[in-house]
């Protein structure tokens, strides 16, 4: 059993085999973190995904008789954290389910049952003995019901999905694992799950700054305990929520007969020669979740597609639909591609990119069938534009 602080245990489930979380690629697996606080009124913070039930229950049983649990706090209704509460309640007949007002509505919709609910709002206190737990509602970070639980006695913030990462590990602390990987997974998590809700994240950060904690225990992945890591993840969230970017370029493209790829390669070479950080991502082999993580960091995104049936390729349309939902801001785009006999599809392509929140650097570059070298050289103009924006 793993104890974070005296009387505070991790009782979660490690999902080693998870490779896809509702469409988001998770090559490192994940965990569903469930925390048990042993006090006069034992309290469980969050449960796990349905197939982790037995492991969650076994970990609880190692620590106490589940019948002694008085509260099950559901910080967030999504089924990766609440999917086992109904089963758990059979072992915890004395437990009340603590959640936000929206949480109660959503849990009733999911489970169609009338559990004993205790509905809490920001600032409410739950007296569990030595500890007085309090709550911070976090609407839209990333569901309407989301909230954080705070234990001032333990100085632990339990913010559910916020500050988490999809990362399976037998270690529990971020500093016990190669940190580069953890930061990458934390960024990918933000880009794919939290990115649309920047203004709400900024409000949560402001409220959290008033709390005294030395440990952030999210519901996925590793726990942040080192001062420098806590400061860094808070400051990264502020940066990501503010849509701050780096002076770098992501080139993302698909290709049919390599003409659009020739253009992508030419752009890459020009940017690389100009010492502008650039990443080349082919939609045929790159995961959408990885592409949007790169885009989160990039001030400039170059999108390339050939035309098929008067449209952009479906892979590009799928990416743009995904980005539109993520509500990116403060980024420049450039469009390019190859066509055979009609350019009409590029208009829709450009419109989709503008709708996804990008400002076009200039009109796109579209070349007929297989580009000549002098046509490819025209792409140099856009590199000068990028340089001008970087200053």
Residue nearest to ligand FEO (CB): 78
Q: Determine whether 81 is an active site residue.
A: no
**Considering the complex, what minimum distance in angstroms separates the CB of residue 47 from ligand FEO?**
12
Site residues for ligand FEO, 202-261, by CB under 6 A, read 219-220
Those residues whose C-beta lies under 8 Å from the C-beta of residue 122, and which sit 6 or more positions away, are 135, 136, 137, 147, 207
Q: Does 15 engage in binding with ligand FEO (CB under 6 A)?
A: no
Half-sphere exposure of 301 (CA within 13 A, CB side): 27
Those residues whose C-beta lies under 8 Å from the C-beta of residue 56, and which sit 6 or more positions away, are 11, 12, 13, 32, 34, 47, 48, 84, 88
Q: Determine whether 22 is an active site residue.
A: yes
Member of 161, 185, 290, 350 binding ligand FEO (CB under 6 A): 161
Within 10 Å of residue 227's Cβ, how many Cβ atoms? 9
Which range of residues in 6-14, 63-71, 76-84, 251-259 is near ligand FEO by CB under 6 A?
76-84
Q: Does 166 engage in binding with ligand FEO (CB under 6 A)?
A: no
Task: Output 129 or 196, the one with its CB closest to ligand FEO.
Answer: 196
Cα pseudo-dihedral 328, 331, 337, 343, rounded to 10: 80
Q: Determine whether 246 is an active site residue.
A: no
Element at 50 (helix H, strand E): none
Q: Determine whether 166 is an active site residue.
A: no
Site residues for ligand FEO, 117-146, by CB under 6 A, read 142
Task: Output 21 or 213, the one with its CB closest to ligand FEO.
Answer: 21
What does the longest C-alpha to C-alpha distance in the chain come to?
A: 77
Angle at 72 between CA 91 and CA 99, to 5 degrees: 140
Q: Determine whether 189 is an active site residue.
A: yes
Q: Determine whether 76 is an active site residue.
A: yes
CB-based contact 241:205 (threshold 8 Å): yes
Which range of residues in 11-19, 77-85, 91-99, 303-311 is near ligand FEO by CB under 6 A?
77-85
Residues annotated as part of the active site: 22, 76, 78, 80, 142, 161, 189, 220
Q: Which residues would be at the binding site for ligand FEO (CB under 6 A)?
A: 76, 78, 80-81, 142, 161, 219-220
């Amino acid at each position: 059993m793993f104890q974070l602080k005296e009387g505070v245990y991790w009782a979660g489930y490690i999902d080693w085999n998870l490779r896809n979380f509702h469409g988001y690629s998770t090559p490192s697996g994940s965990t569903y973190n469930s925390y048990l606080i042993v006090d006069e009124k034992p309290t469980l913070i969050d449960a796990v995904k349905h197939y982790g039930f037995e492991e969650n229950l076994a970990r609880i049983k190692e620590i106490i008789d589940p019948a002694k649990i008085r509260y099950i706090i559901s910080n967030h209704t999504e089924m990766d954290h609440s999917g086992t509460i109904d089963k758990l309640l059979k072992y915890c007949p004395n437990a009340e389910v603590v959640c936000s007002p929206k949480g109660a509505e959503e849990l009733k919709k999911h489970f169609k049952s009338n559990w004993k609910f205790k509905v809490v709002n920001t600032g409410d206190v739950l007296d569990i003995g030595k500890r007085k737990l309090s709550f911070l509602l976090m609407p839209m970070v990333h569901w309407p019901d989301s909230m954080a639980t705070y234990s001032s006695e333990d100085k632990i913030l339990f913010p559910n999905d916020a500050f988490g990462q999809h990362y399976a590990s037998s270690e529990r602390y971020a500093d016990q694992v190669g940190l580069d990987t953890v930061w990458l997974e934390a960024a990918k998590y933000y880009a794919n799950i939290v990115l649309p809700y920047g203004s709400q994240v900024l409000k949560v950060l402001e409220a959290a700054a008033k709390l005294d904690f030395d440990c952030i225990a999210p519901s996925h992945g590793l726990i942040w305990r080192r001062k420098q890591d806590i400061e860094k993840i808070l400051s990264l969230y502020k940066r990501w929520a503010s849509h701050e970017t780096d002076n770098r370029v992501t080139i993302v493209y698909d290709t049919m007969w390599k003409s659009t790829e020739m253009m992508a390669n030419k752009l890459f070479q020009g940017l690389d020669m100009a010492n502008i950080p650039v990443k080349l991502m082919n939609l045929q082999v790159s995961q959408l979740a990885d592409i949007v993580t790169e885009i989160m960091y990039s001030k400039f995104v170059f999108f390339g597609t050939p035309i098929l049936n008067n449209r952009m390729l479906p892979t590009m349309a799928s990416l743009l639909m995904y980005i539109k939902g993520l509500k990116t801001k403060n980024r420049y785009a450039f469009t390019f591609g190859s066509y055979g006999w009609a350019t009409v599809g590029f208009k829709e392509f450009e419109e989709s990119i503008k709708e996804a929140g990008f400002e076009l650097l200039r009109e796109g570059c579209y070349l007929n069938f297989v580009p000549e070298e002098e046509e490819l050289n025209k792409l140099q103009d856009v590199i000068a534009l990028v340089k001008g924006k970087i200053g």
